[in-house]
């Protein structure tokens, strides 16, 4: 019987996906998006108006109106790194504040998002007054914002991270805050959670840092939405005719596509071609160093990602390994 692991959340780096192929992982990528977006917007406005510092000052019995004079967001430039679901929602909302939005995402083409000027990463640094990150934590994004990139930014740039700890190099950020290259930061996520290391605690306690304990998904609505998505996917996995779709597969192809009757001939063809390729390649022990390229042609096959599964299933089956699709 197949095993399924369900974990509510936006990212996949918390889930251990490199396990035997019998364990399939499915995410609920849309469940937390609005909540994370709204927290991001709240942090941006709080940084602009010194809300956290002003509140703390008043609680301590002071009336520091002049000390905590802020700035308007209207007319400022917001750099959005990562234009997926959350990044786009943030861009839409902050554009309503009168901000100019510049965004970077290697998967997004210029002109495809209203009110967002899609540019290269190096073009974001010198123009943005605020920079918010909405990318997954992968090798290419680890320490994406660091002391070197901050030195290319406007003096006093403000950084917001509600995505994943590790995308912002915390040591570099602290150094930039100390010399004034960075004018403030709002952090909801950290490389260590809960934060315990002296350097990280120093960053959190910096007077120009607004820190929250990973609250991006912490709304009643997000928790309900994630629970519903999990339930719907579980129903879809166990009843193909339920009307629900399996989405958010992390280490498995679209189950819905595999179950689609119209795709059965393509699955059969893919497995057959994989079997032929395996027999041509010789004994499985000699496969080290081989790569498999699957090429399709025509509009019909453009989105047939499940063909990879079929071809690999055919190859492994021909080698004597047990498989299933």
How far from the centroid of its chain's Cα atoms is residue 234's Cα?
23
Same domain, 38 and 183: yes
pLDDT tens per residue, range 55-86: 999 999 999 999 999 999 999 999 999 999 99
Asked if residues 147 and 169 have their Cβ atoms less than 8 Å apart, the reply is: yes
Residue at a domain's end among 158, 182, 211: 211
In the chain, % helix, strand, coil (3-state, to 5) comes to: 40, 15, 50
- End position of a domain, from candidates 211, 242, 274: 211
Asked if residue 54 and residue 7 are part of one domain, the reply reads no
| 129 in the same domain as 36 | yes
For 169-195, the pLDDT digits (tens) are 999 999 999 999 999 999 999 999 999
* Contact criterion met (CB below 8 Å) for 48 and 100: no
Q: 180 and 120, same structural domain? A: yes
Residue 134 annotated among the catalytic residues of the structure = no
- Please indicate whether residue 147 is annotated as part of the active site: no
Scored b (16 or more CB within 10 A) or e, 124-138 reads bbeebbbbbbbbebe
In three-state form (DSSP H/G/I as H, E/B as E, the rest C), the secondary structure along 181-239 is CEEEEEECCCCCCCCCCHHHHHHHCCCCEEECCCCCCCCHHHHHHHHHHHHHHHHHHHC
State the pLDDT at residue 40: 99
CATH of the domain at 132: 3.40.50.720
| Whether residue 298 sits in one domain with residue 155 | no
Catalytic-role residue among 38, 164, 170, 225: 164
DSSP string, 255-268: HHHHH-GGGHHHHH
Residue that is last in its domain, among 194, 227, 250? 250
232 plus 269 within the same structural domain = no
* Segment 274-303, tens digit of pLDDT: 888 888 777 656 666 677 777 877 766 666
Share of the chain above pLDDT 70, in %: 79
199 and 98 within one domain: yes
Both 84 and 137 in a single domain?
A: yes
Predicted local confidence at residue 21, as pLDDT: 47
Mark whether 36 and 153 lie in a shared domain: yes
Residue 312, domain extent: 252-324
Q: Of the listed 49, 142, 206, 214, which one is catalytic?
A: 214
Contact 104, 127 (CB under 8 A): no
How would you class 194 by CB atoms within 10 Å of its CB: exposed for 0-12, middle for 13-18, buried for 19 or more? exposed
Is the N-terminal amide bond of 10 cis, ω within 30° of 0?
no
CA distances from 151 to 97, 119, 130, 184, 223 (A): 27, 19, 14, 14, 39
Confidence at residue 239, expressed as pLDDT on a 0 to 100 scale: 74
Cα 257 to Cα 31: distance, rounded to the nearest angstrom: 22
What whole-number distance in Å separates Cα of residue 2 and Cα of residue 13? 22
Q: Looking at residue 190, what is its pLDDT?
A: 98
pLDDT digits 0-9 by tens, 139-170: 999 999 999 999 999 999 999 999 999 999 99
Q: Are residues 51 and 104 in the same domain?
A: yes
Is the same domain home to 47 and 194?
Answer: yes
Residues 30, 230: Cα–Cα separation, whole Å: 11
Q: Domain tally for the chain?
A: 3
Residue 186 sits in the same domain as residue 62: yes
Helix (H) or strand (E) holding 77: strand 77-81
214 counts as catalytic: yes
């Amino acid at each position: 019987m197949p095993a399924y692991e369900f974990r509510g959340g936006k990212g996949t780096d918390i889930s251990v996906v490199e396990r035997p192929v019998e364990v399939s992982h499915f995410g609920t990528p849309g469940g937390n998006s609005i909540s994370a977006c709204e927290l991001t917007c709240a942090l941006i406005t709080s940084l602009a108006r010194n809300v956290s510092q002003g509140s703390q000052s008043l609680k301590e019995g002071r009336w520091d109106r002049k000390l905590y004079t802020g700035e308007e967001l209207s007319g400022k430039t917001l750099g959005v790194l990562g234009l997926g679901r959350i990044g786009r929602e943030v861009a839409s909302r902050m554009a309503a504040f009168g901000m100019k939005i510049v965004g970077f995402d290697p998967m997004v083409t210029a002109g495809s998002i209203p009110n967002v000027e899609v540019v290269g990463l190096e073009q974001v640094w010198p123009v943005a007054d605020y920079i918010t990150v909405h990318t997954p934590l992968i090798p290419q994004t680890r320490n994406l914002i660091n002391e070197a990139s901050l030195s290319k930014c406007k003096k006093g740039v403000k950084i917001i991270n509600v995505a994943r700890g590790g995308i912002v190099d915390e040591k570099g950020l602290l150094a930039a805050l100390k010399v004034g290259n960075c004018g403030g930061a709002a952090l909801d996520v950290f490389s260590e959670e809960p934060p315990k290391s002296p350097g990280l605690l120093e960053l959190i306690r910096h007077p120009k840092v607004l820190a929250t304990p990973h609250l991006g998904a912490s709304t009643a609505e997000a928790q309900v939405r994630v629970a519903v998505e999990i339930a719907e996917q579980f129903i879809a996995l166990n009843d193909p005719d339920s009307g629900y779709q399996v989405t958010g597969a992390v280490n498995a192809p679209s189950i819905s596509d595999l179950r689609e009757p119209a795709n059965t001939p393509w699955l059969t063809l893919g497995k057959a071609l994989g079997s032929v390729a395996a027999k041509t390649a010789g004994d499985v022990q000699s496969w080290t160093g081989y790569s498999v390229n699957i090429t399709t042609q025509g509009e019909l096959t453009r989105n047939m990602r499940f063909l990879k599964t079929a071809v690999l299933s055919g190859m492994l089956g021909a080698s004597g390994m047990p498989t299933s699709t």
